[in-house]
Amino acid sequence: MEKRFVPVMITPFNLKAKIDFDMVERLIDFYLAAGVSGFFANCLSSEMYSISEDERLELTAHIVRYVNNRVPVVATGSFGLTIEDKAEFSKKIYDTGIDAVVLITGHFANVDDSDDILLKRFDKMFSLTPNIPMGTYECPAPYKRILSAGVFETLLSSGRLKYHKDTSIDLDKVKEKLQIANVPGFDFFDAHTPNAMYSLQMGARGMSSISGNFYPEVLVWMCNNANDPSKQEDVKWLQSELTRVDPLIHQAYPMSAKYFLQLRGLPVRTISRAYVQELTPAQKEVLKGIYDSFTQWCSRLNITPVDTRGIMEPQILPDPAI
């Protein structure tokens, strides 16, 4: 089965901290040129907790229109105080044209609630949203609710799930879920880049990690080659490199990703509603070092980095005589 890389999209903002929709389009062009096979819009990387309900819908609808069926798009829908509220918003965001509505596991039970409560609320959600394809995501916020293998199997048996984004990190737990997830039409994605090689070799459909907002071409290469017997030396080497830098790119995220994209030639402003501080000079130096590593990875693996100049509209520069 073809493996897929699906980025968790960042949201670019203009100088007034409003969504920069022109830059959203350039980012989509960048991701697609890198070879991604789908998009996760309105996610934690999109700063979904820092934008309004109307902005979540407007942003998702814009992404769907611009992608224009070239690859699937999923987006988070489980917003609201009650299950009824979550169902209503899920219907609204599904009407934007996405392929599946993603439900945050931590939205359906408090941290000390039992799995029985979690399952009852999911069951109610399913009953209120008939015929809408659903996915689950163990999002770190409001807190990370990891699904046990038993809960995962129960939810999967409902027939409503088409997608799961896993943040277990623990490879034994990932393996246990993957053994359950071997269901036609169901896609299992690992969010943890240090798991990439291992999850892909154990049967994951693909990866969906924040590293795709730095070097998506490299993650696409990993998805394409993790199971190629002739590429195992390079696969293991790349995995060690990705694991080495992964804790570093998480610092000050998503600002770190926006700055890294600047290094790559995309004029994404380092403006974030979720991370209000500026990057320090030391953080910028670390990211520059990772950029140097990225160019070395591409050289060794014969990866052609996306030419960002080719996806930017020509800029009209002022006459130097004026």
Give the residue numbers marked as catalytic. 137, 165
Burial of 21 (0-12, 13-18, 19+ CB in 10 A): middle
State the Cα torsion 57-165-47-87 to the nearest 10°.
Answer: 40
Please count the residues of the chain: 322
Buried b / exposed e along 47-56 (16+ C-beta atoms within 10 A): bbeebeeebb
Token readout for 59 is 């942003």
Yes or no: say if 7 and 176 are a contact pair by the CB < 8 Å rule.
no
